[in-house]
Amino acid sequence: MKNWIKILQTFSSLRIRNFRIYIIGQTISTVGNWMQNIGLAWLVLKLTDSGTVLGIIIALQFAPILVFGPWAGVITDRFKKYNLLFITQSIMGFISLIIGILVAMNFIHIWMIYLSAILLGFMKAIDNPARQTFIHEMVGKDSLMNAVSLNSVQNNLSRAIGPSIAALLIAIFGLAPLFLFNALSYVVSVVTLSMIDKSKLNIHPTTNKIKGQLMEGFRYIRSSPIIFYTLLMMAIIGTLTYEFSVSLPLLAKFTFNGTATTFAIFTAALGIGSVFGGINTASRTKINLSIVTRNAFLFALSVLIFAITPTLNTAIFLLIFVGFFSINFLSFANVILQTESIPSMRGRVMSLWSVALLGSTAIGGPIVGLVGQYIGPRFSLLLGGFAALFASGIGLIALRKIK
């Protein structure tokens, strides 16, 4: 009986109709995103054969989040999240369509990839905090931990499914279908958004345009030790540890002499581990900084062991553990930020979450790419592992200060 109760608790937020519709659309869209990520990384390596250029491309995609992210949080607090998502998802789908057509026509050049990366980055700067806070509006505070965890499960289930489909399509048709499928997946996302019952959303009043809102957000974050130290840990890990989109293709191609299929398998293994990690966190009801810190340490340990593994099969197996602990840390940190922040500040807090997790890639991507190309892919992973270890140390210091 207890096992059945735990299973029902694990999927409790799916009882909410709006969230069920949303998660279906996001799952299909995220599968498309992961397919495009595989295609983009391999396309860059095919055109340039350079880990440094790959790092720069990844950085350009996240640079707008780093620079524009805090202002995007102000925008998120001023406007309805539903409307923002409708706009960002539509534009990102159009960009993917253009890239797919150019690749299919064999008319793609590296400068075009640079430009598309920047445009996608501007859209993601608004899309990410809007999506994070929109989950809160759909399910409320009591179901937030479960909903965030299940959202992580769908994201990482897509990480397992998307690359597998991508590997098959690359072998048969080439890279273009990956971008075209992603464009189609955004259409599905927009359609499911239009099906959401807005009268059932827990919409908090939007903030009016007032001078100094950006600095007000920074002061609020600095005044809350739990929010501040969680964001600091996320910034360190986001900058150097979560650069798998750079380190894994380099490891696949140059360390294990693999192909796009090898990279796809790596990404899928990471996704499988993250699915198990998401299911593990979905049944949790209480979260604190101690749990976040512990999972940062376990994430660091798994990355360090993975970095020195000698064989391909062992590497694939260990990536499952990397994915498991990475999503544990990510989900717990996400929830603690949303539950600790007041509604009028939640958009600004989650925009800095996006800066710490995604925008930091603009700095970490080129660094990891340079290390991977000139010292070795294993060292780029070791760099990330030690960064996560350092972040967990900051978490321990924070716990002592808060106590």
The rounded distance, in Å, linking the Cα atoms of 47 and 108 is 9
- Residue 316 is predicted with a pLDDT of 92
* 323: exposed, middle or buried (Cβ count in 10 Å: 0-12, 13-18, 19+): buried
pLDDT at 293 over 90: yes
pLDDT at 80 over 50: yes
Q: Summarize the confidence of residues 187-192 as an average pLDDT.
A: 94
More confident residue, 120 or 12: 120
- Residue 129 is predicted with a pLDDT of 80
More confident residue, 69 or 293: 293
- Residue 283 is predicted with a pLDDT of 67
Which CATH number does the domain 16-195+212-402 belong to among 1.20.1250.20, 3.40.50.2000, 1.10.150.530, 1.10.3720.10? Answer: 1.20.1250.20
Question: 29-64 b/e with 16+ CB inside 10 Å = b?
Answer: bbbbbbbbbbbbbbbbbeeeeebbbbbbbbbbbbbb
Q: Could you read off the pLDDT of 203-223 as tens digits, one per residue?
A: 766 555 556 666 777 888 888
pLDDT at 8 over 50: no
- Residue 352 is predicted with a pLDDT of 80
The rounded distance, in Å, linking the Cα atoms of 56 and 343 is 36
Q: Summarize the confidence of residues 247-270 as an average pLDDT.
A: 85
- Residue 158 is predicted with a pLDDT of 78
pLDDT at 262 over 70: yes
Q: Could you read off the pLDDT of 246-257 as tens digits, one per residue?
A: 899 889 888 898
Average pLDDT, the chain: 84
Q: The whole model's pTM is what?
A: 0.73
More confident residue, 27 or 146: 27
- Residue 209 is predicted with a pLDDT of 57
Percent of the chain scoring above 70 in pLDDT: 92
